[in-house]
Amino acid sequence: MATDPADEQLLDIRDLKIGVTVREPGKPPRDITIVEGVSCTLGKGKVLGLIGESGAGKSTIGLSSLAYGRGGVEITGGEVFVNGRDILKLSRADLNGFRGREVSYVSQSAAAGFNPAHRLIDQVIEATLEHGLLNRSEAEARAKELFEALSLPDPDTIGNRYPHQVSGGQLQRVMTAMALCPKPDLIVFDEPTTALDVTTQIDVLAAIKKAIRITGVAALYITHDLAVVAQIADEIMVLRDGETVEHGTTQQIIETPKEEYTQALVSVRSIIHEEKQPSQTPLIRMENIVAGYGRGPAVINDVTVDIYSGQTLAVVGESGSGKSTLARVLTGLLPPRSGQSTFEGRPLTNAQKDRPLDDLRDIQMIYQMADTAMNPRQTIGTIIGRPIQFYFGVTGKALQDRIAVMLEKIELPSDMANRYPAELSGGQKQRVCIARALAAEPKVIICDEVTSALDPLVADGILKLLLDLQKRENVAYMFITHDLATVKAIADSIAVMHLGKLARYGTKTEVLSPPFDDYTDLLLSSVPEMEIGWLEGVTASRKMQSAGN
């Protein structure tokens, strides 16, 4: 590789090393390496996808091209050339002149990235004015053009709103406009669609892609979702634990990955689950459920679903569709306004506090955030042992034995019992939560987005474990998720929820086979597929459909 800093490349990262000094009270500070010797180059107008699981260092590398370290993160070695200048050597003042002018940034959560106190337009043109690139009216005109290019509604007036007055998907597009406004050479997109619903994600993705094409800006696109990055990147770099695993063209990475880790990423979610046929009588029937909070409107409206013993009902929908509310009704935390749940043929008491102990034991729950679902000051053994003690009155040696059995079931070593939640990885924590639910020997477990916060490979492991446990323990799952790939992997029957109503309900084959209703069609076609050109195909067919209508 040429060592001449003034070569053709827009971005040239060489042997980048990034670390952080962890200071804990009472312990000497220790240095942790986050990124170890990563190099890459990016030409003008090109898009490089950085992909990896959490902790792979992809955001850290992205921010290093703005010479920025989040928190106590420091760039400890290497060089980062942008337009031929080593930006790590810039003075504070030069750095301020560089940031936001040559390279700009789009963050994962636009809702948090915008200042709630100022109007959108003032924030969008701020960098442009700060760097003296345009005067105010020119900058506003440019912002409006960008709003239009990004398909935002009312491009002339949307800038006058405050961040809380526009939706999440719109805000993410406004943030893209904000990054584009000062005409930078490079934009760092840091998981820009991860926090969005799948049907919103596709619009934002299409808007970003269009904006990149029109403006000819180069981009670093950071994501954990290979299918998303395949739509937008020319090249992909796969990262793991701060090191490059594989770097190649998008086509090569998707179609002929060389490294084992990349192959695992590409083939993730390949669980094949034979769907079981519903038996005669359901274990649980929720009939004509209507529920809402306080004096507000009904959040779920006339929903009827069945859960069969030893089978999985997947409840799918976007945020706000009422799927978690349905779970709250089943657990009794939210008594329904009308409708009735039956359990093994007999009516289930509406309010959780009035239910007999056995009913409470039979319906257990696993949550999305394993972190917050466990008491950080209790050991794993205490956490798993609590339901055993509470429901079965087991104590002493017998309790320890049952805890060890539970740990074995979730494939964790038995010495884990003495550890605290903070010492476990995300996947291990979720396994402990599964063990805690299972320890009550329930007939049904409600799994509320249990894999959403996990990396794909870890999530895969959790799903496999859940399926395996279902086979052995004959437990039923109500599996709440927004992720259709997960649904395909584990469901026996599916309930698609939209705006509090059942949009579609039936066995997996029934629900996933055409003809579709409009919403299910939209939902299914919005899930990114690991295929180059998928995005164009979908958007083109949608345009044709709307033209045809």
Partner 1 sequence: MGLALTLIAQRISLGILMLFAVSALIFVGTQILPGDVAESILGQSATPENLANLRKELGLNEPALTRYFNWLGGIMVGDLGTALTSGASISEAITSRLGNTLFLAAVAAMISVPIAILLGLFAVRYKDRWPDKLISASTLASISLPEFFIGYLLILVFGVKLGWFPTVATVYDGMSFGDRLNAVMLPALTLTLVVLAHMMRMTRAAILNVMQSAYIETAELKGLSSFKIIWKHALPNAISPVINVVMLNMAYLIVGVVVVEVIFVYPGMGQYLVDHVSKRDVPVVQACGLIFAAIYIGLNLVADIISVLSNPRLRHPK
Hey, what amino acid is at 43? G
Judge whether 367 and 433 are in contact, CB under 8 Å: yes
Q: Nearest to residue 115, comparing CAs of 201, 186, 175, 204?
A: 175
Q: Nearest to residue 323, comparing CAs of 352, 287, 299?
A: 299
The rounded distance, in Å, linking the Cα atoms of 287 and 305 is 7
Q: Nearest to residue 538, comparing CAs of 211, 196, 50, 198?
A: 198
Which lies closer to partner 1 via its Cβ, residue 118 or residue 213? 118
The residues binding partner 1 (CB under 8 A) are 66, 68, 70, 95-101, 104-105, 107, 109, 112-118, 123, 126-127, 130-131, 161-162, 164-165
The CB-of-47 to partner 1 minimum distance in angstroms stands at: 19
Structure tokens at 482: 């927004």
Which lies closer to partner 1 via its Cβ, residue 87 or residue 198? 87
Which lies closer to partner 1 via its Cβ, residue 105 or residue 505? 105
The CB-of-102 to partner 1 minimum distance in angstroms stands at: 9
Which lies closer to partner 1 via its Cβ, residue 106 or residue 412? 106
The CB-of-87 to partner 1 minimum distance in angstroms stands at: 12
The CB-of-23 to partner 1 minimum distance in angstroms stands at: 12
The CB-of-175 to partner 1 minimum distance in angstroms stands at: 8
Which lies closer to partner 1 via its Cβ, residue 106 or residue 527? 106
Classify residue 37 by burial, with Cβ atoms within 10 Å: 0-12, 13-18, 19+: middle
Torsion sign, CA atoms 292, 295, 297, 303 = positive
Answer left, alpha or beta for residue 160, where phi above 0 means left and psi between -120 and 50 means alpha. Answer: alpha
The rounded distance, in Å, linking the Cα atoms of 79 and 13 is 6
Answer left, alpha or beta for residue 306, where phi above 0 means left and psi between -120 and 50 means alpha. Answer: beta
Hey, what amino acid is at 149? A
The CB-of-227 to partner 1 minimum distance in angstroms stands at: 26
The CB-of-90 to partner 1 minimum distance in angstroms stands at: 11
The rounded distance, in Å, linking the Cα atoms of 127 and 114 is 13
Which lies closer to partner 1 via its Cβ, residue 96 or residue 425? 96
Torsion sign, CA atoms 199, 200, 203, 205 = negative
Tell me how crowded residue 301 is: count the other CB atoms within 10 A of its CB.
18
At residue 384, the 3 state secondary structure works out as helix
Which lies closer to partner 1 via its Cβ, residue 68 or residue 261? 68
Which lies closer to partner 1 via its Cβ, residue 132 or residue 393? 132
The CB-of-218 to partner 1 minimum distance in angstroms stands at: 17
